[in-house]
Amino acid sequence: MAARVIDGKAIAQKILDEVAAGVKSLSPKPCLAIVLVGNNPASQSYVKKKGEMCEKVGIVSRNVFLPENAAQAEIEKQVEMLNSDPRVHAILVQLPLPPHVNEPDVLERVNAKKDVDGFSFVNSGKLFAGVPTIAPCTPRGIIHMLKESGVRIAGKHAVVIGRSNIVGKPLAMLLLQENATVTICHSCTKNLAEITRTADILVAAAGKPKLVKAEMVKEGAAVIDVGTTRGADGKLVGDVDFEGASMKASLISPVPGGVGPLTVAMLMKNTLECYENCTGSRRLTGIRRGSRAVMIGNREGARGKISSAAYAEDDEIGKKK
């Protein structure tokens, strides 16, 4: 029997309606500032879509465009200016940044209260510790998607393929908060299929098209596909072989139309929560809280330099044995 296909657009629309209702009575309106360095076509498209979604829900969007060769210091200066601007409540640095830029250092410059992506060391550390904080949009959207689809996470074995700081690691922390037993797989994982076949909840976030075949899926599992690779025909392809996996899974998310809409919807929700963080107007918005992974956080802690590779998807899975 074929799996039930998750309608990510419908679930996302409920969130967007909730955000729009929360924003309606606010003055001034929440403002999301997006920093885009360079002219990567995909990044430009994402920024445009985010701006359009802001307009739909009543959030003000501000774009800061910098040239491809912008120096590290200039990018960090722009972020600091947004930090100190009271008219800006949420800040997003569009990734990836050009190769010469140290992404972690830039992301750590974002004030934790305005860190709409939840990528700063402060918010990442709070998420790891189980302290309420702003959680990354895609992992938060996945948790919401599972719950809205009727999946009981507690006690289930969740396998996450991919260990990026954007999806894999924070999703593992959120699943732990929901009392799942979590296994993270990556490019050095041996016998990947043996592990995935034990998963009640299988999340593919490796960036490798059709990595997950039908024989890797446990009968009746919930399968969430985070992958978005554009094929030779221009169409988006996920990390899961949808046709095959859907014959084994009980629930599966499509690409497109699955996780993607939830990511954008959670960005809008996180923006509203950043606004609440900055203004203390939480009671005015009336927005319904989801899991424990929400807002708060002060800019604190020492900065350190770590490899930008930690922020990239683990797209080498399947190449190493």
Tokens of 288: 């319904």
Q: Are 170 and 193 within 8 A, CB to CB?
A: no
Round to whole Å and give the CA distance between 304 and 306. 6
Helix (H) or strand (E) holding 259: helix 259-279
Q: Are 212 and 223 within 8 A, CB to CB?
A: yes
Round to whole Å and give the CA distance between 297 and 5. 36
Please report how the helices 168-177 and 137-148 are oriented relative to each other, as an axis angle in degrees rounded to 10. 40
Tokens of 274: 């950043």
Q: Which of 50, 113, 156, 218 is catalytic?
A: 50
Tell me the CA distances in angstroms from 7 to 10, 129, 170, 224, 252, one per residue in order. Answer: 6, 32, 23, 12, 10
Count the Cβ atoms, other than its own, within 10 Å of residue 164.
23
- Give the chain's largest Cα–Cα span: 56
Q: Which of 78, 113, 114, 117 is catalytic?
A: 117
Q: Name the nearest CA neighbour of 309 among 117, 96, 144, 153.
A: 96
Tokens of 291: 């899991």
Round to whole Å and give the CA distance between 208 and 225. 11
- Look up 225 and say whether it is catalytic: no
What DSSP state is assigned to residue 5?
E
- Look up 50 and say whether it is catalytic: yes
- Look up 213 and say whether it is catalytic: no
Q: Which of 78, 94, 115, 208 is catalytic?
A: 94
Tokens of 68: 């491809």
Tokens of 248: 């084994």
Provide the annotated active-site residues. Answer: 50, 94, 117
